Structure 1
Amino acid sequence: MSDIFREIDEEIRQEDYLALWKRYGPWVIAAAVLLVVAVAGYKGWEAYRHDQAVEAAQTYAAAVEQLNADETQAARDAFKDMAAPAEGGFSLLASFRLADAQVQLGNSGAALKTWQRIAEADGVAASYQRLATIQAVMHALDAGADVPELLTQRLSAIAGGDSGFRPTALEAQGLLAAKRGEREQAVEHYTRITEGANVPPAQRRRAEHMLALLKE
Structure 2
Amino acid sequence: MAFDLQEQEQIDAAKAFWQQWGKWISLAVIVVALGYLGYQGWKYYRSHQAEQAALLYAPVETAVTEGDAGKLVASAKALQDAYPKSGYAARASLLAARVAFDKGDTRTAEQELRWVAGNAVEPAVKAVAQLRLAGLQLDAGQTDAALAELAKPIDATFLPQQLELKGDALLVKGDRQGARAAYQEAIAKLAPDAPQLALLNVKLDALGGEQ
TM over 0.5: yes
Partner of 1:35: 32
Gaps of 5+ in 2: 207-211
Report the structure number with the largest CA radius of gyration.
1
Aligned partner of 1:17 among 1, 14, 19? 14
1:174 equivalent in alignment to 2:174:
no
Q: Give SS of 1:87's match.
A: coil
Partner of 1:114: 112
TM-score for the superposition, normalised by structure 1: 0.64
1:155 equivalent in alignment to 2:150:
yes
1:136 equivalent in alignment to 2:137:
no
- Written as runs of structure 1 = structure 2, the 5 A alignment for 1:93-112 is 93-104=91-102, 106-112=104-110
| 1:81 maps to amino acid | A
Q: CA RMSD in A?
A: 4.4
TM-score for the superposition, normalised by structure 2: 0.65
Distance 2:3 2:201 in 1: 99
- Per-residue deviation, 1:69: 1.3
| 2:101 maps to amino acid | V
- Per-residue deviation, 1:202: 10
1:65 equivalent in alignment to 2:65:
no
| 2:96 maps to amino acid | L
CA deviation vs aligned residue, 1:164-185 (integer Å, no higher than 9, x gap): 563575367437745x6x4x83
Question: Is contact 1:171–1:207 with CA below 8 Å preserved after alignment?
Answer: no
| 1:155 maps to amino acid | L
Partner of 2:199: 204
Aligned pair count?
199
Task: Provide the identity percentage.
Answer: 16
Distance 1:31 1:163 in 2: 45
Question: Is contact 2:79–2:89 with CA below 8 Å preserved after alignment?
Answer: yes
Q: Report the more deviating stretch, 67-76 or 116-125.
A: 116-125
Question: Is contact 1:137–1:151 with CA below 8 Å preserved after alignment?
Answer: yes
Counterparts in 2 of 1:124 and 1:41: CA distance versus 1, 3 Å: closer
- Per-residue deviation, 1:74: 1.9
Question: Is contact 1:99–1:112 with CA below 8 Å preserved after alignment?
Answer: yes
Gaps of 5+ in 1: 212-216
Question: Is contact 1:66–1:74 with CA below 8 Å preserved after alignment?
Answer: yes
Partner of 1:214: none
